[in-house]
């Protein structure tokens, strides 16, 4: 194999804006001639960046899916790429848009029509990580021991991803964004539900119709920025804080440096706010972030991307390539929305009981009533396995998975190390009738979902690790 090119797309439907990128990946076997093949992405090129448009809504609760589909179709034409040429990528619905009535329908419908292997994702933790990748912050953290927080602030949320040495060590998401209060004709037109809950603590809360210049608007923004500062300094322990979306911060090291991305970051770094008139609190939020004393105690770093960080990450950073030594039944690919369960192998426990327990727990987690769904067993840290060990482990897998196996529910095994080929072949040697997907060199954990694409000419498959969590208001 010399090189192989595949195309990827990223689509970000946010609270305020929607945008899209089309990219190409160059794949190459980077192992020596005498070594086990190792296919890697050696080059990523952005072929087309769409304009940033205002996210279209039919009303305040329903996204206009038809207009988004028209926008995506137009961008494919401008990129001179057919949707059927897309081999990977992600469509992400972010911020307040993920709370809309038809959010799930929008991402899945568009994913089905916008590309051969375009996946649908939502969930604030993943959004924060993808933004950090697209902004170059994750890469930047590889070159320093500093703990860096990437804060992606759009119209509805601030998605925080904290990293060190190129690894994400924690996440947190807040209802902090530029469109949580909107204005029209000098008056407040809308206030988001999280801010309404925040102001329940006030003696005299804001209301729709109040003046845009009301001092309480400034107080609201101050509370948002103060909450963000407290989260970054590890000073917030209120699990029911009205601005907290999901869990409290889950990193355990003090933050040294911060990077801002998202639409609000355009105001911070690029003075974009001076170039056009906003009808929301985004500009004031950006200025207050710059001036806040507690935030100034951090080292401020510059991102490679601001408003386009998430969509760039979605189009160029979500795809992983499986190992070349894999065993797959091509007829059952592609597979989408496969949940993962980590099967930890303890050298002191026999394979049969370990796999039996993992399968039972995965069934309980992922099956709905009596309807069994496919799931992937993930073996993250396999010890050294002799041929007899491999045979025993494969027999245990077949014993507990073959009876639930069918064309629609293949046996799916994901391995972090290079055992996929030998395990897949051993399973087929024991039982040639079961459909098997056995891939390696992929790092996931329980609760992740994966999409596995069709086999590429190089013999590898593209894999996207994602979350499917839609949150409510």
The answer to whether 198 and 174 have CB atoms below 8 angstroms apart is no
What does the pLDDT average to over 279-303?
94
Reported as a single tens digit per residue, the pLDDT across 134-147 is: 999 999 999 889 99
Q: Is the pLDDT of residue 334 over 60?
A: yes
Could you give the residue ranges of the DSSP H alpha helices within 53-211?
65-79, 103-114, 124-134, 137-141, 193-198
What does the pLDDT average to over 259-264?
93
Reported as a single tens digit per residue, the pLDDT across 268-284 is: 887 655 444 568 999 99
Q: Mean pLDDT over all residues of the chain?
A: 87
Reported as a single tens digit per residue, the pLDDT across 15-27 is: 889 999 999 999 8
Structure tokens at 443: 């790092």
Residue 437, classed as helix, strand or coil, is: strand
Q: Tell which residue, 207, 229, 254, 236, has the closest CA to residue 158.
A: 229
pLDDT value at position 398?
92
Question: If you average pLDDT over each of 49-63, 372-386, 431-445, which comes out highest?
Answer: 49-63
What does the pLDDT average to over 374-397?
88
CATH number for 4-121+313-319 (one of 2.60.40.290, 3.30.420.40, 3.40.190.10, 3.30.390.50): it is 3.30.420.40
Predicted structure pTM score: 0.82
Residue, of 124 and 91, whose pLDDT is higher: 91
pLDDT value at position 174?
96
What does the pLDDT average to over 173-196?
94
Q: Is there a common fold for 4-121+313-319 and 136-304?
A: yes
Q: Is the pLDDT of residue 469 over 70?
A: no
Residue, of 199 and 2, whose pLDDT is higher: 199
- The 10 Å CB-count burial string (b at 16+, else e) for 363-388 is eeebeeeeeebbbbbbbbebeebeee
Terminal CA-CA length for the chain: 50
DSSP 8-state class, residue 369:
T
Into which CATH architecture does domain 325-457 fall? Alpha-Beta Complex (3.90)
Q: Is the pLDDT of residue 472 over 70?
A: no
Contacts of 122 (CB under 8 A, 6+ apart): 92, 93, 94, 98, 103, 104, 107, 467, 468, 469, 470
pLDDT value at position 121?
74
pLDDT value at position 275?
46
136-304 adopts what CATH topology? Nucleotidyltransferase; domain 5 (3.30.420)
Could you give the residue ranges of the DSSP H alpha helices within 233-280?
263-270
Q: Tell which residue, 371, 383, 370, 358, has the closest CA to residue 446.
A: 358
Cα–Cα distance, 342 to 275 (Å, whole number): 50
Contacts of 135 (CB under 8 A, 6+ apart): 150, 152, 259, 261, 303, 304, 305, 306, 309, 312, 313
Residue extents of the structural domains in the chain: 4-121+313-319, 136-304, 325-457
pLDDT value at position 330?
87
Residue, of 250 and 32, whose pLDDT is higher: 250
Q: Is the pLDDT of residue 323 over 60?
A: yes
Residue-wise DSSP of 172-219: EEES--TTSEEEETTEEEEE-HHHHHHGGGSSS---TTSBTT-HHHHH
pLDDT band at 69 (very low <50, low <70, confident <90, very high): very high
């Amino acid at each position: 194999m010399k090189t192989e090119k595949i195309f990827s797309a990223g689509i970000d439907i946010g609270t305020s804006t929607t945008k899209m990128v089309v990219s190409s990946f160059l794949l190459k076997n980077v192992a020596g001639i005498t070594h086990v093949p190792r296919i890697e992405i050696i080059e990523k090129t952005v072929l087309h960046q769409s304009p940033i448009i205002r996210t279209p809504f039919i009303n305040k609760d329903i996204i206009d899916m038809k207009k988004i589909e028209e926008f995506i179709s137009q961008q494919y034409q401008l990129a001179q790429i057919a949707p059927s040429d897309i081999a990977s990528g992600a469509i992400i619905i972010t911020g307040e848009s993920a709370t809309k009535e038809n959010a799930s329908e929008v991402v899945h419908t568009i994913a089905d029509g916008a590309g051969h292997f375009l996946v649908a994702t939502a969930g604030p933790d993943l959004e924060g990580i993808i933004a950090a990748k697209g902004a170059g912050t994750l890469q930047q953290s590889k070159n320093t021991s500093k703990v860096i927080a990437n804060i992606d602030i759009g119209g509805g949320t601030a998605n925080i991803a904290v990293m060190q040495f190129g690894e994400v060590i924690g996440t947190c998401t807040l209802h902090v964004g530029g469109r949580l209060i909107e204005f029209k004709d000098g008056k407040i037109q809308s206030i988001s539900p999280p801010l309404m809950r925040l102001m329940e603590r006030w003696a005299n809360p804001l209301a729709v119709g109040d003046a845009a210049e009301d001092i309480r608007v400034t107080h609201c923004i101050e509370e948002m920025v103060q909450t963000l500062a407290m989260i970054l300094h590890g000073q917030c322990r209120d699990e029911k804080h009205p601005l907290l979306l999901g869990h409290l911060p889950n990193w355990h090291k003090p933050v040294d440096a911060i990077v801002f991305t998202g639409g609000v970051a355009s105001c911070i770094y690029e003075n974009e706010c001076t170039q056009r008139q906003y009808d929301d609190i985004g500009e004031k939020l950006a200025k207050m972030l710059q001036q806040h004393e507690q935030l100034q105690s951090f080292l401020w770093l510059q991102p490679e991307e601001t408003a386009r960080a998430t969509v760039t990450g979605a189009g160029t950073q979500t795809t992983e390539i499986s190992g070349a030594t894999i065993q797959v039944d091509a007829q059952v690919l592609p597979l989408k929305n496969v949940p993962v369960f980590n099967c930890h192998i303890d050298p002191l426990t026999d394979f049969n009981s370990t796999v039996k327990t993992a399968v039972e727990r995965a069934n309980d987690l992922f099956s709905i009533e009596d309807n069994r769904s496919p799931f992937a067993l993930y073996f993250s840290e396999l010890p050294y396995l002799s041929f007899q060990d491999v045979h025993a482990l494969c027999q245990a897998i077949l014993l507990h998975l073959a009876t639930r196996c069918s064309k629609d529910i293949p046996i799916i095994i994901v391995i972090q190390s290079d055992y996929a080929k030998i395990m897949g072949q051993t399973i087929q040697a024991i039982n040639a009738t079961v459909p098997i997907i056995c891939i390696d060199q992929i790092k996931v954990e329980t609760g992740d979902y994966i999409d596995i694409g069709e086999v590429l000419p190089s013999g590898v498959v593209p894999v996207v690790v994602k979350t499917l969590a839609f949150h409510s208001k």
